[in-house]
Amino acid sequence: MTFSKVWSIPVVALTMMAFALAGHAEGPPGLVGKGLTGVGILQISAVVLHDGSLVGHSNLVGRDCMPGGDCDAVGPVLQAVPPSYPRDFWCITVKRTEAAAVGDLRINWYIRDVGDGRVSFDEYSFKTDLGVDCDLFPDPPQLLSPLLSGDFREMH
């Protein structure tokens, strides 16, 4: 499998759909992007609509993993918490639905939008376990690490 075939989530189409559904001229708040982590390619699209509901999906496909394997983390966004003092990063909760996921397995992605996607890169961390969300675990369990490439962008 090549990385060009991994991008099964149309981020741009999902984002444009969310803008249309939101009904806001300035656009709804959200985080959209993709990047190369130490284990694979991470893609997130999370948009908070005007009624507080979410539109979004996340996909991490491991470099040394077949689709649906235990190093994938795929599913719909359940919660999106934008940066707010004292936290300068997004917290995105995803319900894991890949084949290896059991029960209420979730993953929190912590994304700090600090890079430009060309010479500096955003930072990320994660926590995965049964029932995790951004209310229970608002902070990452370890320091945020820079992406190897890619960019996440806040939408307003």
CB-based contacts of 4-11 (< 8 A; 24+ apart in sequence): 6/41, 6/59, 6/61, 7/34, 7/41, 7/43, 8/59, 9/43, 9/45, 9/57, 9/59, 11/43, 11/45
Confidence of residue 64 (pLDDT cuts 50, 70, 90): low
- Amino acid symbol at 13: A
Length of the chain: 156
How far is the CA of 36 from the CAs of 16, 62, 96, 121, in angstroms? 23, 10, 19, 10
Cα separation, 104 vs 124, in Å, equals 23
What is the average per-residue pLDDT within 68-92? 87
What residues does each domain of the chain span?
A: 3-150
Q: Looking at per-residue confidence, does 13 or 89 come out higher? A: 89
At residue 51 the predicted structure's pLDDT band, cuts being 50, 70 and 90, is: confident
Give the Cα separation of 63 and 37 in Å (integer).
10
Q: For 3-46, write each residue's pLDDT tens digit.
A: 333 333 444 344 444 444 444 446 678 999 999 998 889 999 99
Tell me which H or E stretch contains 21. helix 11-22
- Higher local confidence (pLDDT), 91 or 12: 91
> How would residue 106 be classed by pLDDT, with cut points 50, 70 and 90?
very high
Q: Are 46 and 29 in contact (CB under 8 A)?
A: no
